[in-house]
Amino acid sequence: MFRLPPRRLLPILAAGFSLLSVVASGPSQAAEDAVVIPAPAVDLPAADAPQTAVFAGGCFWGVQGVFQHAKGVLNAVSGYAGGARETANYSASGTGTTGHAESVQVSYDPRVVSYGKLLQIYFSVAHDPTQLNRQGPDSGTQYRSTIFAQTAAQKEVAERYIAQLNAAKVYKRPIVTTIETGKPFYAAEDYHQDYLTLHPSQPYIVYNDLPKIEALKKLFPDTYRDKPALVRDAKATN
């Protein structure tokens, strides 16, 4: 049976009250507004084999959902990165003392979507990179904006892109996204996987996350796909 994570109860209740004024017309604005930004001036070179990237930007439900709707993404798994294996679970990470951030491991086909394009989606629609240790109704270091670079090349591209965006002043505030290396990723509990797709009517999802999917479709029409790449489908084919 599905178990509602208790740490989400207050944000969900708050979102439910907010929905009273917008339920008739559907979601129109997320807790983090999408921002139109330029593509990275520098990207990774082309590759034939699937690649992996790990992003943290608030609650992993929405971040996972965004990347699942991007063409070229083979799988997007919610999980934890930044801390030890022993504390890579929802109850421990929720204390904000483990070093973990709610993260999403994205496996992608670089022949279809580049690392730079994933970065652009991450900074544009997946979250607000100017919020320090919080996103929307969620606060704590476990909700920090972090790129867990898997290679030195990823680290360099991400650093140069952050500098590019800051120089262009596309945000009203400076980017606070950090880049961490050498931090393993651990998959989250099964009930967190494909959460946005499985619970599209939950108030938290309706208010905070579905607008991100709408923004992806609007701002990245060539990258958006309607059918998401679900974790359960990936498991079924392995």
Spatial separation of the C-alpha atoms in residues 234 and 106, rounded to whole Å: 12
Please, how many CA atoms are within 13 Å of residue 202, restricted to the half-sphere of its CB?
A: 18
For the chain, how big is the Rg over CA atoms in Å? Answer: 17
Asked if residue 22 is part of any domain, the answer here is: no
Spatial separation of the C-alpha atoms in residues 107 and 52, rounded to whole Å: 5
In this prediction, the residues of the chain whose per-residue pLDDT falls under 70 are: 1-31, 238
The pLDDT of residue 8? 56
Spatial separation of the C-alpha atoms in residues 33 and 229, rounded to whole Å: 24
Asked if residue 72 is part of any domain, the answer here is: yes
Of the residues 44, 59, 206, 231, only one is catalytic, namely 59
Asked if residue 41 is part of any domain, the answer here is: no
Residue 128: which CATH number?
3.30.1060.10
Q: Is 147 a catalytic residue?
A: no
Asked if residue 3 is part of any domain, the answer here is: no
Task: Tell me the β-bridge partners of 105.
Answer: 54, 77
Q: What is the pTM of this model?
A: 0.89
Asked if residue 7 is part of any domain, the answer here is: no
Of the candidates 185, 50, 61, which has an alpha carbon nearest to the alpha carbon of residue 118? 50
Of the candidates 196, 194, 160, which has an alpha carbon nearest to the alpha carbon of residue 177? 160
Asked if residue 13 is part of any domain, the answer here is: no
The pLDDT of residue 7? 52
Of the candidates 207, 196, 216, which has an alpha carbon nearest to the alpha carbon of residue 23? 207
Contacts of 23 (CB under 8 A, 6+ apart): none
Task: Provide the CA 96 distance to its chain's centre, in angstroms.
Answer: 18
Asked if residue 93 is part of any domain, the answer here is: yes
Asked if residue 194 is part of any domain, the answer here is: yes
Domain of 141?
46-237
pLDDT in tens, 101-148: 999 999 999 999 999 999 999 999 999 999 999 999 999 999 999 999
Count how many domains the chain has: 1
Contacts of 233 (CB under 8 A, 6+ apart): none
